[in-house]
Amino acid sequence: MNKTIPESLEFIHALKRKLESTHPAEVILIPPFTSLFSTAEALRGSDIQLGAQNLSHLTEGAVTGEVSGSMLVSVGCQYVLVGHSERRNIFREDDSLINQKLKTALSEGLRPIFCVGESGEDRESGKTNDIISNQLEKGLSGLTSMEMRKMTLAYEPVWAIGTGKNAQPEQAQEVHEAIRNQLALLYGSDISEATRIVYGGSVTPDNSPSLMAQPDVDGALVGGASLDADSFYAIINAIK
């Protein structure tokens, strides 16, 4: 919940100037709902894509305050976050609801960025893989192989979000590898290898090169460091 419309536009103009040359990374901006339309207009003609931070599991109806997938598509979104840790923890979204949201997003033509991750208590008690395996199994329940090809997975250790504590590169790689192995069991090695798994959790310009160098880390879901164009651009440059 950052940036008004004028602040969003100022950020976009600064980032677009830095990204004028061809860059191998795919860049997606995920602003607040209020900035989506203005952001879409400002991004017109650029390679930067647009995503939303959330969507309703319903397609329409008497659900005041909710935003549907079709509304997001109509404003120009290609992507949507589903299952972000703050949605899970603050708003109590469970795996069943997240599964519904994934199915709704896909049915509306959006590409979900599906977030999974463990708490600090889970990690300390050695439950990281069990927690994430359960989130994957329940969240992906009923999704087909064709639908999986439209998905991006994001590992975001809850204990690292907004704390300044990022997972060490080896820790991130260990979890990303476990996620990829589970995808192989669920959908086969072809889909497992083709699925992008990005890391989110206090990503900064300083730690992004070592994180992005890990074989199973395919990108970054950037939080606070994405609020400044210079900082965000430095992270983009770490993705080869």
181 falls in which pLDDT band (50, 70, 90)? very high
The CATH number corresponding to 50-55+68-236 among 3.30.1330.60, 1.10.3720.10, 3.20.20.70, 3.40.50.620 equals 3.20.20.70
DSSP bridge pairs for 199: 155, 220
Res 139: pLDDT: 98
Average pLDDT of the residues in 180-194: 97
For residue 46, give every residue at least 6 positions away whose Cβ sits within 8 Å of its Cβ, in sequence order, or none: 16, 19
Q: What is the pLDDT of residues 93-114, one digit of tens each?
A: 999 999 999 999 999 999 999 9
Contact in structure between 97 and 88 (CB atoms under 8 Å): no
Residue 220 in this model has a pLDDT that exceeds 90: yes
Q: Strand 49-52's sheet: what is its strand order?
A: 28-29, 49-52, 79-82, 111-116, 152-155, 196-199
Whole-angstrom distance, CA of residue 142 vs CA of residue 193: 20
Find out whether 231 and 13 touch, Cβ atoms under 8 Å: no
Residue 166: pLDDT over 80: no
**In contact, 72 and 36? CB cutoff 8 Å:** yes
pLDDT tens digits, 145-164: 999 999 999 999 988 777 77
**Which residues fall within 8 angstroms of residue 185, CB to CB, at 6 or more apart?**
none
Whether 156 is a known active-site residue: answer yes
Residue 58 has pLDDT above 90, yes or no: yes
Length of the chain: 240
Domain boundaries, the chain: 50-55+68-236
Q: What is the pLDDT of residue 161?
A: 76
Active-site annotation holder among 93, 108, 156, 176: 156
Q: Which of the following is catalytic: 84, 108, 118, 176?
A: 84
Helical residues (DSSP H) of 54-188, grouped into ranges: 69-75, 85-89, 95-107, 120-124, 128-139, 145-148, 169-187
Confidence of residue 131 (pLDDT cuts 50, 70, 90): very high
The predicted model scores a pTM of 0.96
- Whether 176 is catalytic is no
The C-alpha angle with vertex 70 and arms to 95 and 53, in degrees rounded to 5, equals: 50
